[in-house]
Structure 1
Amino acid sequence: MSISIKRILQLTVAATAVALAGFAQAQQVLRVSAIPDEAPTELQRKFKPLGGYLEQKLGMKVEFVPVTDYAASVEGLVNNKLDMVWFGGFTFVQAKIRSGGKVIPIVQREEDEKFRSVFITTSPAINKLEDLKGKTFTFGSESSTSGHLMPRSFLLSANINPDTDMKRVAFSGAHDATVAAVSGGKVDAGALNISVWEKLVAQGKVDSKAVRVFYTTPGYFDYNWTVRADMDPALRKKLTDAFLALNANDPQGKEVLELQRATRFIPSKVENYEQIEKAARNAGLLK
């Protein structure tokens, strides 16, 4: 072999090694996001301790990537721009359909087995769902499970069509924004997830004497952490095990679980969200 050909082969091998090293380094960042169902600053605050915990367990950098809306969280995962996303049940269903079934829910909070939504108002004239006829109302985001899909589903089950029976229907964009709209008198009533409502009450960020819950829905499956199906199985197992290992009896686990408003995490599966998909189709929200 001539010196020149040998040198070319050496350079080729070296270049390939550098490229592979660069690829490996790129894979050492886990890109995580969440549906923007609360203010961006709150999402960052909630994620920081979890991100640190996952970095310790995985031995790789974990980066939180904020998204502008619910649809962007779905597209980010489907188009390989994100590796793991905190989805609501409806956004998981959307991601499943959009990807052709190439996403996997790995864990959910124990609370997400029987999640609920609350309907709130400041009006003494509203005490049951039927009283919403002719009133102004706000959901959260259009793609929210607990802030739109399931509240709409339960309204329809009570023979109330929000689009025809209410005076005006709006979308606030987030659960905390729904509370602000109701408490500020912009609408007569609204619906949001019970977890955010209880947090805002506990933090004194809502006057529960002025704003009250007049209806709480039955339970349904909701949030989960979802990954792409093409994620390395070993990494997926590490991620799942890390969530399942979170324990409220140790300080780090307690901090993470409290910020995630979770007692503990449990395994999740696609079949859990069949009710959500059926409700979405019945409400005309999935074509």
Structure 2
Amino acid sequence: MSCHPFRLTVLALFAVLITAVPALAETPAWRVGMTPAFLHDQHVVLDDWRAYLERRLGRKIEFVQRDSYLETMDLIRLGKLDFAWICDYPYVHLGNHVRLLAVPVNQGKPLYRSYLIVSARDPHTQSLVQLRGKVFAYSDPYSNTGYLVPRYQLHQVGEEPERFFSRTFFTWSHRKAIEAVASGVAQGAAVDSFVWDTLAKIKPELTARTRIVSRSPEYGFPPFVAHHSVPEGDFKAMQGALLRMEQDPEGILLLQRLNLDGFTPGDPAVYNVITEMMNALGER
């Protein structure tokens, strides 16, 4: 008994399809780490961004969120992440474990600052040194703007950061540092300008309870990095998807929701100042 030629063709095509689908499904997702540089409560934005990247790349994307910079750094060192959006301080710490992939552009520059903040009810404090003996909130021990910068500033004026405040504590995110100052739990904090400025747009009732005392010099914006083992083709694909976001309507809308202008390839030399501050504090 023989099959009709048409049936044979259909069966052959079906066989191809059922063998091809599992192969596609088994393609490993690219795991992208997200540290507290990203506001963790923006889940809808994160889901939409993931879906956008999947459509552009034809590849599954998994965002991996952690509550501290060190957790994300450890995942990178262990090769558990393909890409990550990290702080500039961890970028320098990680050294050859990562390659600079892309740098976000905010307010026209791939740069940001550290904001020294106090309570809006404190009209008197005008500088960091006036917070001597006060309670100070640090965001994370691997944060540039929330830990390295204020300690470096104290070192530059001859003060010992470990003895300067009556008490310090870590909040493990810039948002929580802002909340600590707003609620009076801390009398001062140093926070990421991008986080404060973004919250000023989406949670103005929170930032209104704080006051910016001073703004630091500009530093290289927290970068996107790739693990050193990521193949060049994958590196270029992800980099291209980020760089092209500002060129299509859907990407532009996502950037607006992220409070970003776009992405640039970046220059590793911009982050050399982090190494200089670390050296000054004996951390290298």
Could you tell me the TM-score, scaled by structure 2's length? 0.83
Quick one: which amino acid aligns to residue 40 of structure 1?
H
Quick one: which amino acid aligns to residue 265 of structure 1?
F
Distance 1:236 1:177 in 2: 33
Query: Which residue of the partner structure matches residue 86 of structure 2?
Result: 87
Number of aligned residue pairs: give it.
260
Does residue 1:120 correspond to 2:117, yes or no? Answer: yes
Could you say what secondary structure the match of 2:217 adopts?
coil
Following TM superposition, where does structure 1 have runs of at least 4 consecutive aligned residues deviating by more than 6 angstroms?
Answer: 21-24
Could you say what secondary structure the match of 1:41 adopts?
coil
Quick one: which amino acid aligns to residue 119 of structure 1?
L
Query: Which residue of the partner structure matches residue 32 of structure 2?
Result: 32
Q: Mark the CA change 1:32 to 1:38 in structure 2 (over 3 Å): closer, same or farther.
A: closer
Query: Which residue of the partner structure matches residue 263 of structure 2?
Result: 265
Distance 1:39 1:268 in 2: 22
Asked whether the equivalents of residues 127 and 214 of structure 1 are also in contact (C-alpha less than 8 Å), the reply is: yes
For residue 160 of structure 1, report the CA deviation from its aligned partner: 3.7
The alignment's C-alpha RMSD in Å is 2.3
Could you say what secondary structure the match of 1:119 adopts?
strand
Q: Mark the CA change 1:229 to 1:25 in structure 2 (over 3 Å): closer, same or farther.
A: farther
Asked whether the equivalents of residues 35 and 68 of structure 2 are also in contact (C-alpha less than 8 Å), the reply is: yes
Query: Which residue of the partner structure matches residue 135 of structure 1?
Result: 134
Q: Mark the CA change 1:155 to 1:267 in structure 2 (over 3 Å): closer, same or farther.
A: same
Q: Mark the CA change 1:131 to 1:251 in structure 2 (over 3 Å): closer, same or farther.
A: same
Q: Which runs of 5+ in 2 are unaligned?
A: 1-20
Quick one: which amino acid aligns to residue 216 of structure 1?
R
The residue correspondences of 1:42-191 to structure 2 (distance < 5 A) are 42=42, 44-96=43-95, 101-111=96-106, 113-122=110-119, 123-191=122-190
Query: Which residue of the partner structure matches residue 197 of structure 1?
Result: 196
For residue 38 of structure 1, report the CA deviation from its aligned partner: 5.5
For residue 39 of structure 1, report the CA deviation from its aligned partner: 5.5
Q: Mark the CA change 1:228 to 1:22 in structure 2 (over 3 Å): closer, same or farther.
A: farther
Could you tell me the TM-score, scaled by structure 1's length? 0.82
Identity %: 23
Asked whether the equivalents of residues 154 and 217 of structure 1 are also in contact (C-alpha less than 8 Å), the reply is: no
For residue 89 of structure 1, report the CA deviation from its aligned partner: 0.4
